[in-house]
Chains A and B, each alone.
Chain A
């Protein structure tokens, strides 16, 4: 029974550790130092994959939201919740690493003229309201449905927000990093792609861990309820449909 929960989790964890180790060694020993920015540029290999995975995770949350609304399957809602939850945690990392980078390269912790920073902050603030919204609704089914509606709406909002913020700033203020991506040498590209893959693996592993924990605690409370019922009504049998429900 317990095997169905963490299926593939060990392999996934080992792959994540290996990929992260590879990415870090590439970052520190293989990728060349940036001519302009020097050592601090290496935070790029952490910051950009974090941001990419956070945004992709929000999108995944939206897709699971659509699946949940179409099928009514509560497990899709759980996945949507966990995807958004993981991405919000990643989002905190993005804001912190971004601030460190901004301090080192522009001299300020936060630069309001940089459209990517501002749009990410707005997206982060929107998704931060997911928790108070979700837990303000008591009824379980309604909570799941409304949370999915939120996930879909916010998913549509993400690209629109990036468009509006970029328009607001780009013509007034030239983009400082407009050429950073285009002029990247091959070693940096390789390091970046490995870092991105490692980050994607990390996100997936954390997602699976959280799903496993959620499923296990749901199963535990189901069994507890079944036991309580059994103790109350003299029949100590656990209803088979309750106990053997697969992941």
Chain B
């Protein structure tokens, strides 16, 4: 194991362990998403959704639930001195960003494992779309994890942390949301899943993931300097 993977797994393991013990982010995210679905259920007054409405409700809810997790991602590092420890340790600092992104990815996958079946139960007539939807969810989660960890580390050292995360993140993830909703919309059509330009959207999602993983890798060092 190289030093980079060693520090990566150590930080990731620490994050997941502390989340399992304290349950600071995940339950809130899940609860938020389920409650939002209930609100949509009564707000839209429909028992079944399809097409653009269904994908809009799904992605808006998942995005706002993700913001709850992104807000808290680096709070423990700042409050408990984790940043100082990382700066003191003779390790590559990008392993911290990678580990935080991976932790966020795990949170998002766990969130979706619970809330997407709930969404299907509330609003969808058949579960046929869920299979191909997994590919969209995975690629979009990767992008959200990369941008989210970067934005979270930028905002955590400022005064208005909770305010800045959504403010910075929402415009940044607009292309991601366009591609994710574009891919899910035909999948969630009433007559069963269609694959209208599915490949193009997945390619855009993958490109977005790649660009923001590289940007994060390039700039993260400067966010830790002091």
Contacts and interface: CB of A to CB of B under 8 A. Distances in A.
Contacts of B131: none
A146 B174 contact: no
B150 interface: yes
A115 B158 CA distance: 34
A72 to B, nearest CB: 9
A145 B164 CA distance: 17
Interface string A141-177: 0100110111011101100110111011001000000
B3 interface: no
Nearest to A153: B215
B114 interface: no
Nearest to A126: B171
Contacts of B208: 160, 164
B182 A146 contact: no
A163 B171 contact: no
Contacts of B168: 126, 129, 133, 150
Given A136-B160, A145-B225, A164-B179, A69 B219 contact: yes
B207 A160 contact: yes
B175 A161 contact: yes
A194 to B, nearest CB: 34
A122 interface: yes
Contact of B204 (A122, A125, A164): A164
Given A146-B223, A149-B223, A152-B218, A129 B154 contact: no
Interface string B194-226: 000100110010011001100100110011011
Interface string B143-180: 00000001000110111100110011001101110110
Contacts of A183: none
B160 A145 contact: no
B172 A153 contact: yes
A73 to B, nearest CB: 14
B178 A146 contact: no
Interface string A34-60: 000000000000000000000000000
A142 B175 contact: no
A152 B182 contact: no
Interface residues of A, number: 30
B209 to A, nearest CB: 11
Contacts of B179: 164, 167-168
Nearest to B200: A167
A150 B164 CA distance: 12
A132 B167 contact: yes
B175 A132 contact: no
Contacts of A156: 211-212, 215
A246 to B, nearest CB: 26
A242 B215 CA distance: 37
Contacts of B226: 142
Contacts of B223: 145-146, 149
A138 interface: yes
A69 B221 CA distance: 10
Contacts of B164: 129, 132-133, 136
Interface string A194-228: 00000000000000000000000000000000000
A137 interface: yes
Nearest to A128: B171
Contacts of B176: 164
B159 A137 contact: yes
- Most A CB contacts (10 A, CB to CB) among B159, B164, B197, B215 go to B215
A136 B178 contact: no
A188 to B, nearest CB: 33
B159 A122 contact: no
A125 B170 CA distance: 9
A171 B182 CA distance: 12
Interface of B: 150, 154-155, 157-160, 163-164, 167-168, 171-172, 174-176, 178-179, 182, 197, 200-201, 204, 207-208, 211-212, 215, 218-219, 222-223, 225-226
15 contacts: A123-B171, A126-B171, A126-B172, A129-B167, A136-B160, A142-B157, A150-B154, A150-B168, A152-B215, A154-B172, A156-B211, A164-B175, A164-B176, A165-B178, A167-B179
